[in-house]
Amino acid sequence: MNPFTLTRAETVEGAVRDFRDSDSPAFIAGGTNIIDLMKENVARPTHLIGLNKLPLNTIEPTAEGGLRLGATATNADTAWHPEVQCRYPLLSQAILAGASPQLRNMATNGGNLMQRTRCYYFYDTATPCNKREPGSGCGAIGGYNRIHAILGASEQCIATHPSDMCIALAALEAEVHVVGPGGSRVIKFEDFHRLPGNTPERDNTLEPGELIVALELPKKGFEKHFSYLKLRDRTSYAFALVSVAAVLELDGSTIEDARLALGGVAHKPWRDKAAEALLIGQPATTSTFKKVAEAVLKDAVGQGTNDFKIELGRRAIVRALQQATAGGKASDVFLNSNP
């Protein structure tokens, strides 16, 4: 870890200005990821701008009937917020499937979007990594890649985005409100994270110095039929091998609306709208779900250690859609525990 200075921003404008005027700055809120990155010498900012004094920790209804989640509200406060639990139970379930209570108490909503991959090679500076050091190569390709991507990867990078919360946000089609040196803008969730391509060092589409100030959930919360299914190597405090956020709107047993987002399989929360469209107007049955699962994974490519994720992904999609159809309440204490 290198020496750094720390200021605590009082206003969003001040934070953005501080960032613009500093050499090698970074924002810090909960610090649950950037501190690790600094200890491992993966990130070496020389100036940290603390965000926890900003007035961004509220969760409030919007005029459009949605819900605005402040960027510095903690993951725990968000997951347990009555409006979130009642209207967006998918989001609550996804957040609680992530990390541990201690981490969720510290981690913030904005930070959750900004967390970096957990690729082993990214964290170990003794090995090559194009994301950490562009041009150095990808250690994970041809190496140990159990937690790596099967969709949308590139020859430069097969890392995955590790978030659970973001998978639910992708399914719910949230919007990301940001403020930067050029003013404020709104980014659709599907446009926020990006695929690695030839620039894997870029995780998302933020411009330098842009700061997330809020996440906005649309009115529709799919509170009747939802499921967040997370498969991992232990029941808590482990990143997803495959996770599925599934939401449905049913008319009887016919699917009126549906969304699927996958975690643990790509550089960003994975949506496949063409595959989702196969659900619309169809009966909510296992055979329908299997067709969709096939479609979602049809272009999946294994990297060796993670080949199993392709079949696991198919099965997880089917199970998640079955659970969503059934109503989404955690039916399996082993799979859906929220410790």
Please state the closest distance from residue 13 (CB atom) to another protein, in A.
32
Q: Which is nearer to another protein, 140 or 266 (CB)?
A: 140
Using the rule CB under 8 A, which residue among 237, 254, 298, 329 binds another protein?
A: 237
Helix axis angle, 308-326 relative to 286-297, nearest 10°?
A: 140
State both tokens at 83: 């409006």
| Helical (H) or strand (E) element with 249 | strand 242-251
Note whether 2 binds another protein by CB under 8 A.
Answer: yes
List binders of another protein among 140-159 (CB under 8 A).
Answer: 142-144, 146-147
Helix/strand/coil percentages in the chain, nearest 5: 30, 20, 50
Note whether 126 binds another protein by CB under 8 A.
Answer: yes
Please state the closest distance from residue 160 (CB atom) to another protein, in A.
13
Please state the closest distance from residue 165 (CB atom) to another protein, in A.
17
State both tokens at 334: 């082993």
Torsion (CA) 172, 177, 178, 183 in degrees, nearest 10: 140
Are 262 and 296 within 8 A, CB to CB? yes
Please state the closest distance from residue 272 (CB atom) to another protein, in A.
21
Query: 205: exposed, middle or buried (C-beta count within 10 Å: 0-12, 13-18, 19+)?
Result: middle
Using the rule CB under 8 A, which residue among 19, 123, 192, 289 binds another protein?
A: 123
Q: Which stretch binds another protein (CB under 8 A): 130-138, 176-184, 262-270, 327-335?
A: 327-335
List binders of another protein among 275-294 (CB under 8 A).
Answer: none
Note whether 121 binds another protein by CB under 8 A.
Answer: yes
- Report DSSP letters for 76-104, one per residue: HHHHT-HHHHHH-HHHHHHHHTSS-HHHH
Note whether 241 binds another protein by CB under 8 A.
Answer: yes
Q: CB within 8 A of 282, min separation 6: which ones?
A: 254, 255, 288
Site residues (vs another protein, CB under 8 A): 1-3, 41, 100, 118, 120-121, 123-127, 139, 142-144, 146-147, 231, 233-239, 241, 308, 311-312, 315-316, 318-319, 332, 334-335, 337, 339
